[in-house]
Chain A
Amino acid sequence: MLRLDQGEEWAFEELVRRTYGDLYGLAFRMTGNADDACDVVQDAYLRAYKSRDTFRGEATVTTWLYRIVANCASSHVSRRSRNRHQRLEDSTPVVDDRPSSDPETMADVALERRRLGAAMASLPPRLRMVVVLKDVYDLPHEAIAAELGITEAAAKVRLHRGRRKLRERLYGQRRQ
């Protein structure tokens, strides 16, 4: 894991080279498209450089950068939504015409990943961002809440709702 110890020379360019692919993955999963992800990564590095003094040795650089990307992506998605006069909940769901099929039985792992990717993309951004940060990137609730500007309780509620929607879309609607 990449670490920058305090007192070590700030090798910013090297940091960009070593982390941009990973940060792009996070930004893409949070924003749902490549153009926005590139903008978010760009913003994140600028912000990281400006606030490099806030990096504390106890966290890994990667975790520190994830938090900055989370914050930039959240602002980006909110701004985009406002610009389009669109509510965050209004994202168009990706239709899965095989709601009851069980991915475990599919031989094609790539197809299963695509289905999960499509299900993730179909989540409203405010739910998707929390699921990505917690269940994919393993950020603590406290960090997620801080970077998204919500309470920890709200982060947990969004996580559970996001997980439930994903389960319904991937494994079929349970009869209530």
Chain B
Amino acid sequence: MNRRCQATITALAELASEAAEVPNGVSAHVEECFRCRGELARHRKLLRRLRQLRECGLEPPPRLLDQLLENLSESPETASAVSGWWRRRVNYLLVAVAATGAAGTGAVLLVLRGRAGTRLAG
């Protein structure tokens, strides 16, 4: 690789985005150099692929939202901001327990009350 190509490849690595213009100082060389045209194409492709990564979301762990809200409800600073979440969750669980019948309901209710009591009191 000659010095001109090396300088060009360094300049191409600094392109701000896929759509950015090739810098004036190296555009003439890119036009006439097969190797540097390839570098430019690969560089633009890389930037395009990277930008697309943002659109293909990463699936968070299934329990993450619940864990976040639970932990935030336990933190003194954020408890009041997410307390509604905990109340709704307790209500939901109570309804679910009621729907499953009387068996074991008493024990589950005791556990839930104990837990809700500690959180809501905090």
Residue positions of A touching B, CB distance < 8 A: 10, 12-13, 16-17, 20-22, 24-25, 28-29, 34, 38, 41-42, 45-46, 49-50, 103-104, 112-113, 116-117, 131, 135-138, 156, 160, 163-164, 166-167, 170-171, 174-176
A8 CB, nearest partner CB in chain B, Å: 14
- Interface residues in B47-105 by Cβ distance below 8 A to A read 47, 49-51, 53-54, 56-58, 60-61, 64-65, 67-69, 71-72, 75, 77-78, 81-82, 84-85
User: Are the C-beta atoms of A12 and B81 separated by less than 8 Å?
Assistant: yes
User: Are the C-beta atoms of A136 and B54 separated by less than 8 Å?
Assistant: yes
Interface size class of B (residues with CB under 8 A): 35 or more
User: Are the C-beta atoms of A16 and B13 separated by less than 8 Å?
Assistant: no
Identify which of A25, A38, A117, A135 contacts B57 (C-beta below 8 A): A25
- Residue on B nearest A48 in the bound complex, by CB: B78
Residues of chain B contacted by A41 (CB below 8 angstroms): 64, 68
Once the chains are docked, how many angstroms separate the CA of A176 from the CA of B77? 56
Residues of chain B contacted by A16 (CB below 8 angstroms): 65, 68-69, 72, 82
User: Are the C-beta atoms of A135 and B47 separated by less than 8 Å?
Assistant: yes
Q: A22-B57, A136-B54, A174-B9 are in contact. Are A42 and B45 (CB under 8 A)?
A: no
Residues of chain A contacted by B85 (CB below 8 angstroms): 13
User: Are the C-beta atoms of B14 and A160 separated by less than 8 Å?
Assistant: yes
- Residue on B nearest A49 in the bound complex, by CB: B78
User: Are the C-beta atoms of B50 and A45 separated by less than 8 Å?
Assistant: no
Interface: B110 (CB within 8 A): no
Residue positions of B touching A, CB distance < 8 A: 1, 6, 9-10, 13-14, 39, 42-43, 45-47, 49-51, 53-54, 56-58, 60-61, 64-65, 67-69, 71-72, 75, 77-78, 81-82, 84-85
B86 CB, nearest partner CB in chain A, Å: 10
Once the chains are docked, how many angstroms separate the CA of A20 from the CA of B93? 23
B116 CB, nearest partner CB in chain A, Å: 17
B51 CB, nearest partner CB in chain A, Å: 7
Identify which of B43, B60, B84 contacts A167 (C-beta below 8 A): B43
Once the chains are docked, how many angstroms separate the CA of A16 from the CA of B73? 12
A65 CB, nearest partner CB in chain B, Å: 13
Once the chains are docked, how many angstroms separate the CA of A10 from the CA of B14? 40
User: Are the C-beta atoms of B64 and A50 separated by less than 8 Å?
Assistant: no
17 contacts between A and B (CB under 8 A): A10-B81, A13-B69, A21-B57, A25-B58, A42-B68, A45-B68, A45-B72, A46-B75, A49-B77, A50-B77, A103-B49, A136-B53, A138-B54, A163-B47, A166-B50, A167-B43, A171-B46
